[in-house]
Copies of this chain bind each other. A is one copy, B any other.
Amino acid sequence: MTREAVTREAEEPGTVPRGIVVVGNGMAGSRLVSEIRARDPRVPLTVFGAEARRPYNRVLLSNVLAGAARADQIGLVDPAWYETSGVDARLGVEVVRVDREARTVHGSDGSAVPYGTLVIATGSSSFVPPIPGTEGGLPAGAVAFRTLDDCEAIIGAAEGARRAVVIGGGLLGVEAARGLAGRGLEVTVAHLAGHLMDRQLDAGAGKVLARTLGRLGVRARLEAVVTGIRTAPDRDGAARVNGVELAAPGGGAEAAEAAEVLDADLVVLACGVRPEVGLARAAGLEVDRGIVVDETLRSVSDPSVRAIGECSQYGGTVYGLVAPAWEQAAVLADLLTGADALARFTGAREITRLKAAGVDLVAMGETHHGDDDPDVEIIRFADASRGTYKKVAIREGRVIGGILLGETGTAGTLTQLYDRAAPPPADRLSLFFTGVGGARPADSPVRMPDAATVCHCNNVSKGQILECWEKGARTAEEVAARTRASTGCGGCQDTVAGIVDWLAEQDHDGPGQVRVGVGAAPGG
């Protein structure tokens, strides 16, 4: 490591120049490392990863669980890349202490690495609620779902299992349940709230989702208070799960007696995550729910420390989806390399996509308003037996939230309006239905403005894909390799492929045609 190298954004003139140390090699940390290297091939760069594996796309874990992808298909960085790129990658080494005075981090392997800038990207860990029977750790057959190791453990346990209970009916729990049902298990989701995915969905959408999942073999037990995980000795005498206890509805004195037991030979815990802030807190940094940062992602306690991803908190919000984390990574790379000293993270709009076979769901923003709020226009369409539920909320002439469940054909239109807090079309139906009232779907390549975001995870616009085509990319894979479009949650794969097909068609008609669509594409 070149101690003499300087970070381009010299923070404290006169001090000894030191390198960048990134703690955490998950979605945020690994992205930051590659974003920095893309901008600056030389700045000294060390990354610590607690997992010994190369970084992987956590968003796609549910695909692995469902059997739709293999573990080796979701890797984010080729291990050889670290070597060729001059990144000091310490995989399998946990950082156990930060000495802010000495500006040094200490690894679990006894190593110490000084930093000019420390970036904390420790993410979050699964929250395991205090369920009786889990005090000494989870028994065999029970897994908290968070990492690729967890995912492989679940898949292993599912092999011999017949009945699974997923505790927690949020996004991750629903994805896990659907994946397990796809593997042939009888699956019950035990969820504390009155409807599934209650954070993202209103009650109406939650009901329709439950009905759709029911058809796919997933039963939902709502308002379910889990009071225990039951075990029995297996052949080797070790405790192994055989059931999940639920309190009687309403609770009360007789709840314990009236407890119902859901038979289960596999229990998956998906009870949410908590920001991993122990290291930061121990180092004396200001931590609320996450490490409190400003719009340069700098800790409010220490100008040499930054934090991104699920362990950070900006403007009161801990962002839990990949798109904001990757946006933060790009902003921070701009700042640390000096590529754009004015780059700022000013908050992000979160758009949730459920990735589960047979369930199409996109949800964003404020989705819980009822029809009674005089300040919010709520448009709703539902056909529960067909699994369709759509809702859009509009306030002061701006789209402030929405749900598309079952049919997501207008997701492009809706997310664009939501992203930009743009006014909705006078014909509200075009938010719900494609080809309605003369409106064209905004995700038709011809109609889509160049500025429209195609890949929300990686913030890639249609214009950037056109530019990429102009520079020679001719397939969706080539576009993905150059722009990263479609490599996040994968939800925009069809759109990217559609744009590429359209460009190929235009090209076939004559090269001049493409430029019309591209506008002032540089280097075209």
| Residues of A participating in the B interface, judged by any CB pair closer than 8 Å | 204, 207-208, 371-372, 374, 376-386, 428-429, 433, 435-437
CA distance A505 to B436 in the complex (A): 29
**Contact (A371, B433) CB under 8 Å given A379-B382, A383-B378:** no
Chain B residues near A433: list those with CB within 8 A: 429, 433, 436-437
Q: How many copies of this chain?
A: 2
CA distance A383 to B371 in the complex (A): 8
CA distance A380 to B377 in the complex (A): 16
| Contact across chains for A371 and B436 when beta carbons are under 8 A apart | no
A208 → B minimal CB distance (Å): 7
**Contact (A371, B208) CB under 8 Å given A377-B386, A378-B382:** yes
**Cβ-defined partner of A371 (8 Å) among B372, B374, B384, B437:** B384
Chain B residues near A384: list those with CB within 8 A: 371, 377-378
A–B complex contacts, Cβ < 8 Å, 28 sampled: A204-B371, A207-B371, A207-B372, A371-B382, A371-B384, A374-B385, A376-B385, A377-B383, A377-B384, A377-B385, A378-B382, A378-B383, A378-B384, A378-B385, A379-B381, A379-B382, A379-B383, A380-B380, A380-B382, A380-B383, A381-B381, A381-B382, A383-B428, A429-B433, A429-B436, A433-B433, A433-B437, A436-B437
Q: A385's closest neighbor in chain B, by CB?
A: B377
CA distance A385 to B376 in the complex (A): 8
CA distance A379 to B208 in the complex (A): 12
A374 → B minimal CB distance (Å): 8
A445 → B minimal CB distance (Å): 22
Chain B residues near A383: list those with CB within 8 A: 377-380, 428
Most B CB within 10 A of own CB, among A371, A386, A428, A429:
A371
CA distance A380 to B432 in the complex (A): 13
Chain B residues near A429: list those with CB within 8 A: 433, 436
CA distance A384 to B380 in the complex (A): 9
Q: A433's closest neighbor in chain B, by CB?
A: B429
Chain B residues near A379: list those with CB within 8 A: 381-383
A185 → B minimal CB distance (Å): 24
A492 → B minimal CB distance (Å): 25
CA distance A208 to B379 in the complex (A): 12
CA distance A204 to B370 in the complex (A): 11
CA distance A380 to B391 in the complex (A): 11
Most B CB within 10 A of own CB, among A207, A374, A376, A381:
A381
CA distance A92 to B134 in the complex (A): 87
Q: A214's closest neighbor in chain B, by CB?
A: B374
Chain B residues near A376: list those with CB within 8 A: 385
CA distance A24 to B428 in the complex (A): 50
Closest 8 CB pairs of A and B: A377-B385, A371-B384, A379-B383, A380-B382, A381-B381, A436-B436, A383-B428, A378-B384
**Cβ-defined partner of A381 (8 Å) among B372, B374, B380:** B380
CA distance A379 to B429 in the complex (A): 15
CA distance A208 to B370 in the complex (A): 12
Given A378-B382, A379-B381, 11 further pairs, Cβ under 8 A: A204-B371, A207-B371, A207-B372, A208-B371, A371-B382, A379-B382, A380-B380, A380-B382, A433-B433, A433-B436, A436-B437
CA distance A377 to B388 in the complex (A): 11
CA distance A372 to B214 in the complex (A): 13
Q: A374's closest neighbor in chain B, by CB?
A: B385
